[in-house]
């Protein structure tokens, strides 16, 4: 199917072809959308609600009543839940509310969400989301000309800084990069606004085309020398490695096998580091390959953008 493309100035800019397998589903499955929304909301729930059990309150440790002869029950502690000020029996505990949902169901849910917007004719395609002026008043006027009052705007891999700054003060308008596209935000807004770059990225994701950022070597402006780009190395592990002087990919790539074994044992990740081949991944990235995991590939794009914004690139 085809949709008209417009500019922020409400002028025609041709048409764009949409993949029917992604945007043209006729029978929208509400049950799949419900499962996905529930999955997202459960995952973001804090789960920090908690009550104190009898072992956590401190009323008194003194045996306040004699064992026998009182005519009542025998008690040894006022911390018990049956007393005022005592602990709570079977109260809520700190936990994660997240639950699993098959990857295929999550992918299908996004297709149904996108198709539902196309079916209800609530999709606007922008040629681009460049707005260097950065003024909220001007962008609001452009949105009014396009009939946008309650919308989710999806940009490309990176958001235009002026557009994002101008849009953040407009009520009922959310702006996300392509990596942030999700079912809940698509459904909670009346209109879905997609840039041509966003549509290309959506097609690339579902058609199996490569969207991997280009690798770089030490000395190149695009090279990020940080071990957090290794699959399996999170913020905690990266901090531990940095504390031992191996926070850079180039240093970890040059470590000897004996030193690597000692290092990983010292920070408590010996088996995991071997199974995930942290040293091998570091050598591959230094040699010019992109990070192995998709999440690290997206992180690389963000880190490159931040580096460029700071004038380091």
Q: What is the CATH number of the domain that holds 180?
A: 3.40.1370.10
Please calculate the CA angle 201-206-211 and round it to the nearest 5 degrees.
45
Whether 96 is in a domain gets the answer no
- Overall average pLDDT of the 294-303 stretch: 84
pLDDT on residue 312: 61
- Co-location of 10 and 154 in the same domain: yes
Percentage of the residues of the chain whose pLDDT score is greater than 70: 97
Domain end (from 172, 206, 240): 206
Percentage of the residues of the chain whose pLDDT score is greater than 90: 54
3-class state of residue 295 by DSSP = helix
Whether 106 is in a domain gets the answer yes
In sequence order, which residues have a C-beta less than 8 Å from that of residue 211 and are 6 or more positions away? 201, 204, 205
- In contact, 135 and 156? CB cutoff 8 Å: no
- With tokens 């690389």, the residue in question is 300
- Overall average pLDDT of the 194-220 stretch: 80
Q: Quick: pLDDT tens for 164-193.
A: 999 998 999 999 988 889 999 999 999 999
- Co-location of 19 and 144 in the same domain: yes
Whether 28 is in a domain gets the answer yes
C-alpha–C-alpha distance, residues 278 and 257, integer Å: 12
- Co-location of 37 and 128 in the same domain: yes
pLDDT on residue 72: 87
- Co-location of 249 and 302 in the same domain: yes
Q: Tell me the pTM.
A: 0.63
- Co-location of 255 and 285 in the same domain: yes
C-alpha–C-alpha distance, residues 154 and 256, integer Å: 45
- Co-location of 233 and 140 in the same domain: no
In sequence order, which residues have a C-beta less than 8 Å from that of residue 280 and are 6 or more positions away? none
Number of domains making up the chain: 2
- Co-location of 29 and 159 in the same domain: yes
- Co-location of 242 and 155 in the same domain: no
Query: What is the DSSP track for 170-225?
Result: STTEEEE-GGG--HHHHHHSSEEEEEHHHHHHHHHHHTT---PPPP--TTSTT---
Neighbouring CB atoms inside 10 A of 33's CB total 20
* Segments forming the whole domain that contains residue 115: 2-41+101-206
Q: Quick: pLDDT tens for 217-275.
A: 888 888 999 999 999 898 889 999 999 999 999 999 999 999 999 999 999 998 889 88
- Co-location of 115 and 20 in the same domain: yes
pLDDT on residue 94: 93
- In contact, 281 and 231? CB cutoff 8 Å: yes
Domain end (from 142, 171, 206): 206
- Co-location of 133 and 239 in the same domain: no
pLDDT on residue 211: 56
How are beta strands 191-195 and 173-176 bridged, if at all? unpaired
Structure tokens given for 201:
């990225």
- Overall average pLDDT of the 281-298 stretch: 88
Q: Quick: pLDDT tens for 41-69.
A: 999 999 999 999 998 998 887 888 889 99
């Amino acid at each position: 199917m085809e949709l008209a493309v417009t500019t922020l100035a409400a002028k025609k800019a041709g048409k764009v072809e949409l993949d029917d397998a992604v945007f043209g589903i006729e029978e929208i499955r509400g049950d799949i959308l419900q499962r996905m929304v529930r999955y997202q909301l459960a995952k973001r729930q804090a789960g920090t609600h908690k009550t104190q059990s009898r072992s956590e309150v401190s009323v008194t440790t003194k045996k306040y009543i004699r064992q026998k002869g009182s005519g009542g029950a025998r008690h040894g502690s006022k911390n018990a839940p049956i007393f005022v000020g005592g602990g709570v029996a079977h109260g809520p505990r700190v936990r994660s509310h997240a639950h699993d949902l098959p990857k295929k169901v999550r992918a299908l849910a996004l297709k149904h969400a996108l198709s539902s917007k196309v079916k209800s004719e609530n999709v606007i395609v922008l040629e681009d989301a460049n707005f260097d002026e950065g003024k909220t008043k001007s962008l609001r006027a452009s949105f009014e000309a396009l009939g946008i009052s309650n919308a989710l705007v999806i940009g490309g891999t990176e958001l235009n800084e002026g557009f994002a700054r101008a849009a953040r003060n407009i009520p009922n308008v959310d702006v996300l990069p392509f990596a942030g596209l999700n079912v809940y935000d698509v459904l909670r807004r009346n209109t879905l606004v997609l840039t041509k770059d966003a549509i290309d990225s959506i097609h690339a994701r579902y058609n199996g085309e490569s969207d991997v950022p280009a690798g770089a070597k030490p000395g190149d402006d695009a090279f990020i020398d940080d071990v957090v780009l290794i699959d399996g190395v999170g913020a905690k592990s990266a901090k531990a490695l940095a504390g031992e002087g191996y926070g850079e990919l180039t240093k970890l790539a040059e470590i000897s096998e004996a030193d690597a074994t000692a290092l990983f044992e010292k920070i408590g990740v010996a088996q995991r580091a071997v199974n995930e081949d942290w040293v091998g991944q570091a050598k591959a990235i230094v040699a010019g390959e992109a990070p192995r995991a998709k999440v690290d590939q997206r992180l690389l794009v963000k880190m490159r953008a931040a580096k460029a914004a700071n004038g380091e690139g």
